[in-house]
Amino acid sequence: MKPKTRGKERIRLVAITLICIIVIVTGILFSLQSFIKREIWGGIIGILIAVIIVTFAVIVVRRGNRDMRKGYPVQDERSKKVLEKASSRAFYVSLYILLAIGFLSNKIRFRDISQATSVAVGIMALLFLIFWIYYNKKES
């Protein structure tokens, strides 16, 4: 691996780590605030999300460090193709889900707009994960 590429890969891993830390801290703060308000389910869901993110972050960073030590690129052509396909499919399906949430807003009672947004973002992340797993298995 070229030295310039290696530096970019290292920066990418550090950025992933920092973003995950920020999201984890946000999830923990959300959980604490929910527990203070005596909203137990909100706190449990926040902790669950933080644990899932920690798990994926540890996997991604360990795999990236291992690949860099062996001299392999963190992202090759195949992984970029899988990521692009999963992202585009998740985006398209998410648009329809956002439209459905908009149309069903009278039937689905959300506490406020932030709760609806949180549900939509959670569904988007789940869709991306599902499509990524599907295309990762399919492209093998």
Domain map (residue ranges) of the chain: 1-74, 76-140
Q: Are 31 and 54 contacting, i.e. CB atoms less than 8 angstroms apart?
A: no
Q: What is the pLDDT of residue 6?
A: 66
Q: In the chain, which stretches have pLDDT less than 70?
A: 1-6, 74, 139-140
Q: What is the pLDDT of residue 47?
A: 79
Q: What is the pLDDT of residue 85?
A: 92
Q: What is the pLDDT of residue 93?
A: 92
Q: What is the pLDDT of residue 98?
A: 86
- Report the C-alpha gap between 52 and 12 in whole angstroms: 20
- Alpha helices (H) along 1-140: 3-36, 40-70, 77-103, 113-138
Q: What is the pLDDT of residue 64?
A: 74
For residue 109, which phi and psi values (nearest 5 degrees)?
Answer: -95, 110
